[in-house]
């Protein structure tokens, strides 16, 4: 994980992405990315356009998993006690 500061760029804001990070996900200058806020997680996700479907399926799965864990919290705690 890398920590960066949000900077002002004209009337907008941005974050500098180091070249090594771009290379690690096969992105280069000029590539299109999608930027999304993941509701309820305080997270901004940046993903390459070409990976969107795969990433969205993962997000949907983790959202489902999180909701299921909340819904069945008592049962999960009971199951965790079984040895």
Give all domains of the chain, ordered by start, each with its CATH number. 7-81 (2.10.260)
Q: What is the pTM of this model?
A: 0.50
61 token code pair: 């799965």
Which residue carries 């760029």 as its tokens?
A: 9
Q: DSSP strand E in 1-83: where?
A: 7-9, 12-14, 33-38, 43-48
Q: Are strands 12-14 and 33-38 parallel, antiparallel or unpaired?
A: unpaired
3 token code pair: 């920590």
Local structure of 4: helix, strand or coil = coil
Please, are residues 76 and 69 in contact by the beta-carbon 8 Å criterion?
A: yes
pLDDT at 7 over 90: yes
Q: What is the pLDDT of residues 13-72, one digit of tens each?
A: 999 999 998 888 888 888 888 888 988 888 898 888 765 667 777 888 888 998 998 899
């Amino acid at each position: 994980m890398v920590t960066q500061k949000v900077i002002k760029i004209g009337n907008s804001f941005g974050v500098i992405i180091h070249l090594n990070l771009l290379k690690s996900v096969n992105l280069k200058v000029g590539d299109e990315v999608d930027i999304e806020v993941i509701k309820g997680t305080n997270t901004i996700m940046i993903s390459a356009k070409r990976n969107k479907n795969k990433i969205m399926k993962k997000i949907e799965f983790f959202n489902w998993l999180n909701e299921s864990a909340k819904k069945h919290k008592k049962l999960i705690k009971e199951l965790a006690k079984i040895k």
